[in-house]
Each structure stands twice: as C-alpha cells, then as structure tokens.
Structure 1
Amino acid sequence: MANERQQLLILHLAMPDLDSHTVAWALYDGALPAGQLQMNTGDQNEPPYKSVIDAMRNGWFVIQLAPAPTYLRGAEHESGHLPYEYVLERRVAVS
C-alpha cells in the first residue's frame, strides 16, 4: 500500500511574474528516507525549474504568493531578503 508524502519547493524569482526566471531555490522532500540529506542552498548550479509556471506544469501547486515588497523612501537600493518568494507543494507516493 502506497502512502503519500509532501514535498515543498521554495522558488525566488527575479520579478513578481510567475513566468519570471528563478534566482534562488530550496527543496524540502518528505519522501526522502530519514537521515538522507535534503537539498541545500547552493547544492546545484541550475534551478529545478526555470519559473513557477514551469513547476506548475510539472505537478506543483502554488500555496503562497509573494507579497509586494515595501520600499522605504531613501532605502530603495538597500540589500535584504529576496522579495519574490513562492512556496509550492506536491504530494508523491512512497511505498
């Protein structure tokens, strides 16, 4: 009998458009056996998907849209977190 496990994919895009290109990512895979390492930031040179739309076409569901960033006057060029973060989810069968 197969069980389902959740996978979470976090994609940071260059722009708020869901078809914009991925600039950073992380994958958390509940289907991996205990003790097996998860993908960490910087483990791969290429993102798993070029955009959120590409991930959706491969069965991922968007569960969080990025809020519009707020830029304070005079601080528009300050560095900080990546503003266009999308959280995606899918369930995979494991036996």
Structure 2
Amino acid sequence: MSSASVERQQVLYLWMQGSALDSHVIGWAFHDGTAGAGPSIPAGDPPYPTGVASLLDGWMLLQSSPLTPLGVGQEHVNSYLEHEFVFERRVRLGT
C-alpha cells in the first residue's frame, strides 16, 4: 500500500517600504497550510529583507498592490499598509 502525497500551500505577505520588490520589508504575515509539516521561513523579523530575497528562496509572487495616488491633503492620513505583495509556495507532503 503506497502513501499518497498531498500538496499544501504556504502564503507569505510582505509589506514593503516602496512599490519595488527590492524595497525593504516593513511588515509581514505568514500562513502555513502545512500545519508545521512543511519548510519554515527564515528566523528573524522580518524573515526576508526584500521581496527579491523571498523570490531567491523559492517563493512565487501571486499579487502586488496597485499604485494609487494620494489626494491633496491625504499625505499624512494613516490607513492600511500599501505596497503589499503576496507570495506562495506549494509544499508536497508525504511520499
């Protein structure tokens, strides 16, 4: 009897200082669909210094945030973090 392998997804959100992938990471979130059975992310806060570093580690870019111009007088309004990039990697579990 053979064990079937299953594929699970890991998702990494990186918020950058600017709109380019080589900007510095200022915030992050990691969601692990493998429940800890897959590879972990690098230790540290943040786990990668830039989005490019995550690509070099095997993450695939799924989405980047649209660039939206600020209106006059909105330059100092607090809101959600812009420059959000969403990465994924698929992990095969089992043999």
TM-score by length of 1: 0.82
Please provide the CA RMSD for this pair. 1.5
| Equivalent AA in structure 1 for residue 87 of structure 2 | L
What secondary structure, in the 3-state scheme, does the structure 2 residue paired with 1:88 have?
strand
Give the deviation of 1:2 after TM superposition.
Answer: 2.3
| Equivalent AA in structure 1 for residue 17 of structure 2 | A
1:90 aligned partner: 89
What secondary structure, in the 3-state scheme, does the structure 1 residue paired with 2:72 have?
coil
Conserved? CA contact 1:69–1:83, under 8 Å: no
Structure 2 unmatched runs, 5+: 37-42
What secondary structure, in the 3-state scheme, does the structure 1 residue paired with 2:29 have?
strand
The percent of aligned pairs where both chains have the same amino acid is 36
| Equivalent AA in structure 2 for residue 21 of structure 1 | H
Equivalences, count:
85
Structure 1 unmatched runs, 5+: 34-43
Q: Distance in 1 between matches of 2:35 and 2:10?
A: 9
